[in-house]
Copies of this chain bind each other. A is one copy, B any other.
Amino acid sequence: MTSGIDTGVLSQKTRYAIRAMQHLADRYGQGPVHLQEISDKQNIPAKFLTVILSELSRLGIVESQRGKDGGYWLALSPIDISYGDLIRVMRGSLALVPCASRFAHEKCKNCLEEGDCRTRALMLEVRDRTAELLDGFRLSDPISPVPAFAADEQD
C-alpha cells in the first residue's frame, strides 16, 4: 500500500552536514581539517561544502582558521553533539509539522485553530519521542554501518 515517491526528509544539505561533522568527529583533537579532505573523503561537492561549513561555523558548532594549514574542527567534543542537534540546526526543527515545533514554532498554513487540531496533538508527541531518540545518539558513538538490504519487510 504505497504511492508517492520518496524525497527524503533530510535534505541533501543536511546529509552532507552530518557526514562532514562525522568526519570532523573522527579527526577531533588533531588540528584543522581541510575542506578539500572532507569533500574528497565524504563525497561532497567542494563549493557546496563551503556554504555548509561556513554556516556551521557561524552557528558556533565548528571552528575554523584561514590560510595555510587552516581548516575546520569541532567546537565541542563529539560526545556533546547529538544527531538531534545537527538536524535541529540544519532544518530548524525535529518536528514533522511547523506547529509542533517548540523552538521554531509557526502556525501551519490553512490549518484549524491550534487548540482544535488533533494532528498537532499527535505530532507534539511524535516530536518529543523523536527528540528523545535523536538526542540519544552522539557524534562520539561508534556506529557500525549496516550491510545493504536483503530485500525484506516493509518500510
Contacts and interface: CB of A to CB of B under 8 A. Distances in A.
A35 interface: no
B127 A22 contact: no
A6 B110 contact: no
Interface residues of A, number: 79
A143 B155 contact: no
A102 interface: yes
Contacts of A146: 114-115, 120-121, 124
Contact of A4 (B2, B90, B97): B90
Contacts of A92: 2-6, 155
A85 B155 contact: no
A62 interface: no
